[in-house]
Amino acid sequence: MLFNSLTFVVFFALVMGGFWTLRSWSARKNLLLVASYVFYGAWNPPFVLLLIVSSAMDFYLGLKMGAAERPTQRRMWLGVSLVVNLGMLGFFKYGNFLLENFQALAAMGGLQYQPARLDIVLPVGISFYTFQSLTYTLDVYRGHLKPTRSLRDFLFFVAFFPQLVAGPIVRAADFLPQCDAPAAPRRGRMQWGLFLMTLGLFQKIVLADALLASASESIFNYGGPLRMLDAWTGVLAFSAQIFFDFAGYSTCAIGAALCLGFSLVDNFRFPYAAIGFSDFWRRWHISLSTLLRDYLYFPLGGNRQGVYRSCVNVMIVMFIGGLWHGAAWTFAVWGLLHGVYLVIERVVSGPLNQAKWARSFLAQVGLVGCTYVAVCFTWVFFRASDFPTAARIIRAMVGAFPTGDAILPTREILQVLVVTAGLLIAHWRLRQGTLEEAVSRWPAGLLVGTWTFMLGAIILTQGNGNAFIYFQF
C-alpha cells in the first residue's frame, strides 16, 4: 500500500479511528500489528508470512542469546540470525546478481556456464526490515539491550506499518520502550503528525512526481548524446527527485507514527546544505548511515587503527552501503565514489578547518555548492541503468557534446531550476536547526497558508500512484 494512494487514506482513517477508540493498550497494539500486516500484504500477501517467520526467528534467537551462559553459545545464536537474515536478503535481492557475476567470472576463466535465471520476486522493503531486525539481535549479542519477552511487541516493532517498507530504520532500543505504555498525551501531537504527512505527500506527489520525474526520466532513458544543459537539468532533477521522494516517505512515516503516538527518528536533515561528505552523511538517510557506522564501521576498527586502515574501512562500508541499495555494480560505484570523497575529505579537512577564510559566508556557500555538485555526479551512477548510460551523461555534463540533442522543453528546464533553487535555499536557511524549531517561529498565517497550499497542490496534482523509489531497495 502506498502513502500516496486513496487506499491508504481510507486505511489510515480506519486504523486511527480504531486505535483511539480502543481503551486497552494491548488491544491497540494488536490492532496496529494486524493493520501492519494488512498494509504489507496489500502488495503480495504471501510475503507477510516471510516477514512473520523472519521476525519471529529473531525474537527467539534474542531470547536464546539472553539465556546463553557461554559466549560461544551467544556467538552461535548470533551466527544463526546473521546467516538466516543475510541469506534471505541475499537470495531475494542478490540471487540473480550473484549468478550473473559468477557466470561472467567463469567465462573469464574459460568456463562456459549458463545458469537458469531465477524468477525471483523481491519482497518490498526487505532490505529495511531485515536490517531493522538484525540490529536487535546484534544489540542483544553485544549486551546493549535486554531481549524483549513479548513476541507481539517484537513483531510489532519490525512490522509497524509507517516505517516498514522504506524506513526510517528504527532501532529496537528506540522503539521497544514505546511499546511498554502509551505515550503521555501531548497537545498538538496528532495535528503535527498530520502536518508532517501533508509535507511528505507534497514532497512526493507534487515535487518529486509532478515537477521533477519527467525531466529525470527523459534524460536517463535517452540513448544519444545530450547537450550540457539537458544533462545537467536531468541530473539536478534526479538529485531533487530522490530527496523529495525518500525524504517525503520518511516525513510521512514520522507523521503517521506520531498520529498514533509513536516517535520515529529523523532520517534527513537538510542534506543539500552539507559542507563536505561526512556532513552530508550525517544529514542523508541518517538511520542507514548511523546503522552502518555502528554495526560495520566501528566493528571494523573505525578510525582507531590509523589513517590508512580507517580509509580502507570507509571504502568497505561505502561499498556495502552502495550494494545495499541495489544489486548492480552501478550502485557499488555510487557507494565507492562517496567513499573516495570521504577519504579525500579526511586528507584535506585538517588544513581547511584551520583556515580562517573557510569560515566566511562566501566560502561556506562555495563549499556547500562544491559538495552538492560532487554529490550530483554520484547520483548519475545511482540512477543510470548501466555504465555506458552513466558515462554518456557525465560526458554530456562536462560539455563533450556541444551539438548534442536538446530534448527537454524550456518549461521543464525552468521547472527543474526553480524547484532546485528553492530546495537549496530552504536547506541552506534551515541547515543549523530543525523543522520543528523553524515551524515554532513561523507566523500563524504563514503556517496556515503553507499547509493550505500543500494540500491544495496535492489535490490539484491528483497523483498517479507512482511507487516510492526506495521501495525497490
Partner 1 sequence: MPSSTSSFERPIPDRPWGRLLTITLILVTCATIAWEVRARAVGYAPTLNDTPDLWAQQRGKVRPDSLVIVGDSRPLFDLDLDGLESGLGRRPIQLALPGSCAFPVLADLAADPTYRGTVICSIVPLMFFAPGGPLVENSEKALKRYHRWTLAQRSGHALGVLLEEHIAFLKQEDLTLNQLLQQLPIPNRPYAGVGPPLPPYFQTMDRERRTRMTEACAQPGPLQDRVKHGWLPLFTPPPPPSYVPKEAFLESMGKAVEKRFRDTVDAVKKIEGRGGRVVFVRFPVSGKLKEHEDRMTPRAGPWTRLLADTGAPGIYFEDFPELASYELPEWSHLSGPQSVEFTARLVPHLKQALAR
Outline where 206-227 has alpha helix (H): 213-220
Q: Quick check: 168 and 265 in contact, CB under 8 A? A: yes
String marking each residue 106-145 x if it binds partner 1 according to CB under 8 A: -------------------------------------xxx
DSSP state, residue 358: G
Q: Are 157 and 170 in contact (CB under 8 A)?
A: yes
Residues in contact with partner 1, total (CB under 8 A)? 73
Interface with partner 1, residue 410, by CB under 8 A: yes
Q: Which residues in the 32-61 window bind partner 1 by CB under 8 A? A: 41-45
Least distance from partner 1 to the Cβ atom of residue 275, Å: 25
Which of 359, 361, 411, 432 is the binder for partner 1 (CB under 8 A)?
411
If one asks whether residue 183 binds partner 1 (CB under 8 A), the answer comes out as yes
Told to check if 70 binds partner 1 by CB under 8 A, we report no
Contact between 191 and partner 1 per CB under 8 A: yes
Task: Please report, as residue ranges, which positions from 237 to 256 form the binding site for partner 1 (by CB under 8 A).
Answer: 254
Q: Quick check: 414 binds partner 1 (CB under 8 A)?
A: yes
- C-alpha 244/C-alpha 223 separation (Å) is 26
Q: Does residue number 165 form part of the binding site for partner 1 (CB under 8 A)?
A: no
The CA-atom distances, in angstroms, between 335 and each of 190, 326, 328, 355, 455 are 38, 11, 11, 29, 36
- Please identify, among the stretches 78-86, 287-295, 383-391, 404-412, the one whose residues bind partner 1 according to the rule CB under 8 A: 404-412
Q: Is 385 in the site for partner 1 (CB under 8 A)?
A: no
Cβ–Cβ under 8 Å, residues 59 and 154: yes
Question: Could you list the active site residues?
Answer: 325
Q: Does residue 172 touch partner 1 according to CB under 8 A?
A: yes
Q: Which CB atom, from 178 or from 371, has the smaller least distance to partner 1? A: 178
Query: Which ranges constitute the DSSP H helices of 260-386?
Result: 277-283, 286-292, 306-325, 329-354, 361-383
DSSP-assigned letter for residue 225: -
* CB environment 31-54: b (16+ within 10 A), e (fewer): bbbebbbbbbebbeeebbebbbeb
Residues 377 and 371: their CA atoms lie apart, in Å, by 10
CB of 216 to partner 1, least distance (A): 14
Determine, following the binding rule CB under 8 A, whether residue 68 of this chain makes contact with partner 1.
no
Candidates 170, 184, 178, 185; CA nearest to 139 is: 170
C-beta of 286: minimal distance to partner 1 in Å? 14
407 touching partner 1, by CB under 8 A: yes
Task: Check binding of 225 to partner 1 (CB under 8 A).
Answer: yes
CB 11 within 8 A of CB 39: yes
Asked if omega into 168 is within 30° of 0 (cis), the reply is: yes
Q: Per CB under 8 A, does 409 bind partner 1? A: yes
DSSP string of 177-207, one letter each residue: HHHHSPPPP-TTHHHHHHHHHHHHHIIIIII
- Sequence-distant (≥ 6) Cβ neighbours of residue 77 within 8 angstroms: 61, 64, 65, 68, 137, 141
Q: Where does this chain touch partner 1 (CB under 8 A) — which range of 68-76, 271-279, 290-298, 455-463?
A: 455-463
Which of 71, 109, 185, 223 touches partner 1 by CB under 8 A? 223
Does position 197 interact with partner 1 (CB under 8 A)? The reply is no
d(CA 62, CA 64): 5
- Segment lying near partner 1 (by CB under 8 A), choices 243-251, 356-364, 372-380, 462-470: 462-470
Q: Is 71 in the site for partner 1 (CB under 8 A)?
A: no
**Is residue 1 within the footprint of partner 1 (CB under 8 A)?**
yes
By CB under 8 A, name the one of 31, 155, 208, 211 that touches partner 1.
Answer: 211
407: DSSP letter: -
Cβ 260 to partner 1 shortest distance, Å: 12
Binding window for partner 1 (CB under 8 A); candidates: 98-106, 218-226, 239-247, 352-360: 218-226
d(CA 53, CA 59) in angstroms, rounded, equals 10
- How many residues are present in the chain? 473
Choosing from 73, 360, 385, 434, the residue that interacts with partner 1 (CB under 8 A) is 434
Q: By CB under 8 A, which span of 26-34, 46-54, 169-177, 237-245 interacts with partner 1?
A: 169-177
Task: Give the residue, chosen from 152, 189, 282, 395, that forms a contact with partner 1 under the rule CB under 8 A.
Answer: 189
Cβ neighbours around 301 below 10 Å, total = 13
Nearer to partner 1, 180 or 386 (CB): 180
CA distances from 227 to 400, 406, 442 (A): 8, 6, 42
Nearer to partner 1, 329 or 401 (CB): 401
Q: Which segment (184-192, 269-277, 307-315, 326-334) binds partner 1 by CB under 8 A?
A: 184-192
